[in-house]
Amino acid sequence: MKNKKYSIESEMVHADQPENDPFGAHVMPIYQTSTFKFDSVEDGRKFFAQEEGGGSHGYSRLGNPTVDRLEQVFAKMEGENIAEDVGALAFGSGMAAVSTALLAMANQGAVIAQPGLYGCTGQFLKEEAPELGIDTHFLDLNDLETLDQTLQENPDVKVIYGETMANPTMSILNIPAVAEVAKAHNVLFLVDNTFATPYHLRPLEMGADMVIHSTTKYLNGHGTLIGGALVAKQSVIDEYNVALFRKNLGGVTSPFDAWLNLNGLKTFTLRMQQHTKNGMKVAQFLEEHEAVKKVFYPGLDTHDQHELADKLFEKGYGGVMSFELKGGYEAGVAMMDQVDFCTLAVSLGTVDTLIQHPASMTHSVMDAEIRQQAGITDGLVRLAVGIENVDDIIGDLEQALEKSKPEPAMY
């Protein structure tokens, strides 16, 4: 397409169309090669010296045409309304993006992060990062007074790190407010936008310095790859040598995974529309069910931060939620054993509905008291609503809830 600006919905349909393919391919080819040949020694010299006139590509860890196209699309998705040039880097996993960004931008400094982060991110900050000279202060980022005070008391803080929506209560990060505090202290603000995606919210437009994604989830949508991405103003990427860190740490994505991701993005907006539509209907059903104690979904009036979600989110609230069963641990296990249509699996963002019981599955090895403090109660169930017919989703949840009820006491 020409340089004319189109809607993000239309841009995604054309996401996998190359701009300057030498053979006029309609769909972006998979440049499945480890290395690229040069026309001459001088051509190769200029490439590695990063001089003009050299070859465009030399080695796929340094750059690949299929990956380049994916990065262009990511930059457009998150930065379509940013005046300054926005760049993106694709990674082999979401954690590769997270760890690379933090190592590059918080180098020999400290981080302030919200509690209840994605498990592997929290583990990295608590265990690996201190060994690499990066300490972390965990606090509620929405407590702006405490955040400001912590920054005043810790001048070594270089990065504030948060998530748009956090497990398990789907708590919402007040991105514009946190961004103001970060800017006042000249601190970088990084936001993981995996749950919301650019369909609902674009943190760069709200003042964040960098956005991170696990592209494994909604941005792929089909459960066929593991991937990650970061998006920021190109000046930020350059200033902190993030591309150099990626090159030397090696967390790049493969051309094939990049192609799978491009293919998935063609249906991104259609998928998100259905995830969101189904999500609200399922949340409303669960809230009315007698076996459910509480539903955590920002689209419900009963969510503690519903007003903030209304202010920040566009086009709805997504398809991820959690709910607490009155029957506790036993009810959670019983329900998982009874689901038939929904898929018993971890992760989120795939076209099918995924369900899991953290206390008996992902967090079963965690100390029960610590798990409870993190909000992961014995009866908590995590649900990532898919794009199937919503009546089928609700029907399966209803039968599983009914069969998981404890037997009435016999007297």
Which percentage of the chain shows pLDDT scores above 90?
82
Q: Is 354 helix (H, G, I), strand (E, B) or coil?
A: strand
Own/partner long-range contacts of 8-13 (Cβ < 8 Å, ≥24 apart): 8/76, 8/77, 8/80, 8/198, 8/199, 8/269, 9/269, 11/73, 11/76, 11/77, 11/80, 12/73, 12/77, 12/265, 12/266, 12/267, 12/268, 12/269, 13/266
Q: What is the pLDDT of residue 121?
A: 95
Per-residue pLDDT reduced to its tens digit, 172-196? 999 999 999 999 999 999 999 999 9
- Average per-residue pLDDT for the chain: 94
Residue 67 amino acid letter:
V
Query: For the residues 249-276, what does the mean pLDDT come to?
Result: 98
CA dist 261 and 227 (Å) reads 8
3-state secondary structure of 193: coil
CB 172 within 8 A of CB 312: yes
Residue 232 near residue 87 (C-beta atoms within 8 A): yes
Average pLDDT of the segment spanning 200-213: 98
> 135-159: per-residue pLDDT in tens?
999 999 999 999 999 999 999 999 9
Query: What is the pLDDT confidence band of residue 409, given thresholds at 50, 70 and 90?
Result: low
Q: For residues 75-80, give the mean pLDDT.
A: 93
Contact 350, 278 (CB under 8 A): no
pLDDT at 361 over 90: no
Is the model's pLDDT at 106 over the cut of 60?
yes
197/8 Cα distance (integer angstroms): 12
What band does 125 get if pLDDT is binned at 50, 70 and 90?
very high
* CB contact at 8 A, 316 and 296: no
Close Cβ partners of 173 (under 8 Å, ≥ 6 residues apart): 114, 141, 142, 162, 163, 164, 165, 166, 191
The pLDDT score that the predictor gives to residue 411 is: 53
Confidence class for position 403, pLDDT limits 50, 70, 90: confident
Q: Which residue has the tokens 């971890």?
A: 346
Burial-class residue 50 by CB neighbours within 10 Å (0-12, 13-18, 19+): exposed
Per-residue pLDDT for 270 more than 90?
A: yes
In angstroms, the CA 108 to CA 63 distance is: 28
Q: Average pLDDT in the 199-227 region? A: 98
116, pLDDT greater than 80:
yes
Local confidence band at 85 (pLDDT 50, 70, 90 cut-offs): very high
pLDDT attached to residue 371: 79
Separation CA 288–CA 292 (nearest Å): 8
**What domains can you pick out in the chain, each with its CATH number?**
8-30+61-265 (3.40.640.10), 269-402 (3.90.1150.10)
The set of residues, in sequence order, having a beta carbon less than 8 Å from that of 356 and lying 6+ positions away, is 336, 344, 345, 346, 362, 381, 382
C-alpha dist (Å) from residue 240 to 107, 176, 237, 251, 381? 9, 23, 6, 17, 40
Helix axes 175-184, 144-153, angle to 10 degrees: 20
- Answer for the pair 140, 114: CB distance below 8 angstroms, yes or no: yes
Strands 157-163 and 110-113 come out as parallel
Instruction: Flag whether pLDDT at 120 surpasses 60.
Output: yes
Cβ neighbourhood burial of 39 (10 Å; 0-12, 13-18, 19+)? exposed
Q: What local confidence, expressed as pLDDT, does residue 392 receive?
A: 99
User: If you average pLDDT over residues 190-208, what whole number do you get?
Assistant: 98
